[in-house]
Amino acid sequence: MRTLIIGDLHHRTRTADAILASEPHDRVVFLGDYFDDFSDTPGDALATAAWVKQRLSEARCTLLWGNHDLPYAFDADDFPFLSCSGFQRNKLDAIKTVLGPDDWDRLQAYAQVGPWLISHAGFHRDLLPREIVRNQSLLRERCTQAFHSLERREPDLVFAAGKERGGRATIGGITWCDWKRFEGIDGVHQIVGHTPSSDEPLRHWSPPGSTNYCIDYRKGHTYAVVTEERTFFKQLQPAGRESFNLGEVEHEALGRARHA
């Protein structure tokens, strides 16, 4: 099994397509934030919505939620606690012509790929009890509860914005946690996006018992290739013509970290 992990797009669907065309894969996980960018238009939103709908129809694709996607799924005018910079009513109107509730229901809060827990911004160690995050059944149930809260127009910490991003929560949730505030969970290895960097194509933080990477990069595009034994981190050049390796991780070493 060869899985690609592709970070925040913000309408850069051609970049994602270039990665898919150049990297053999069996599965791909997108980290969210398909919408919104500086000076984007309703036409951009419409084109991206069509791309999202197409990818949702492909069995090998898993699309995760980002903080720039939830406002369009739930309508930030009715759910102000989901409001995000870049949200505009005219873009929402364009997106709604393509994506309906059944489409949005197919996005996921997180994914498990090999040794990695994948989400848009990460599970901070103080967000949920470790026993929940390390148990797939309990974690799935907790995230489902969080979505039900949103449907009732009730905020939930799982999707809350932290104070560092202008929200009220002490810790940002899995669509909002800023990398500079992120703290990993013992025994859980994570790959996240959300916090862009103009200087570092790959950021790495490994406290005792976990290994964590952020792949949100403004120049070019960083992505991960997860195989049975290793994970490779790569960067696609801005021109979209060439990728090169940034580093790799042996999964056996992650197992040792988990039990350290």
pLDDT digit string, tens, across residues 2-31:
999 999 999 999 999 999 999 999 999 999
What's the first-to-final CA gap in the chain, in angstroms? 27
Closest CA to 10 of 202, 217, 176: 217
Confidence band of 199 (pLDDT split at 50, 70, 90): very high
Residues 6 or more apart in contact with residue 113 via CB below 8 angstroms: 3, 5, 27, 29, 191, 226
| Cβ atoms within 10 Å of 167's Cβ, excluding its own | 18
CA angle (240 as vertex; 234, 246 as ends), nearest 5: 15
- The pLDDT assigned to 257 comes to 56
Query: Distance between CA 77 and CA 160 in Å, rounded?
Result: 17
Q: Please determine, for residue 124, whether its predicted confidence score (pLDDT) is greater than 70.
A: yes
- The pLDDT assigned to 38 comes to 86
Stretch 67-92: mean pLDDT? 92
Confidence band of 135 (pLDDT split at 50, 70, 90): very high
Q: Please determine, for residue 78, whether its predicted confidence score (pLDDT) is greater than 90.
A: no
Query: Distance between CA 16 and CA 240 in Å, rounded?
Result: 9
Confidence band of 203 (pLDDT split at 50, 70, 90): very high
* Whole-prediction pTM: 0.96
Query: Distance between CA 86 and CA 219 in Å, rounded?
Result: 20
- The pLDDT assigned to 163 comes to 86
Would you state the structure tokens that stand for residue 35, as one six-digit string? 């919408």
Mean pLDDT score across all residues of the chain: 93
Domains of the chain: 3-120+179-258 (3.60.21)
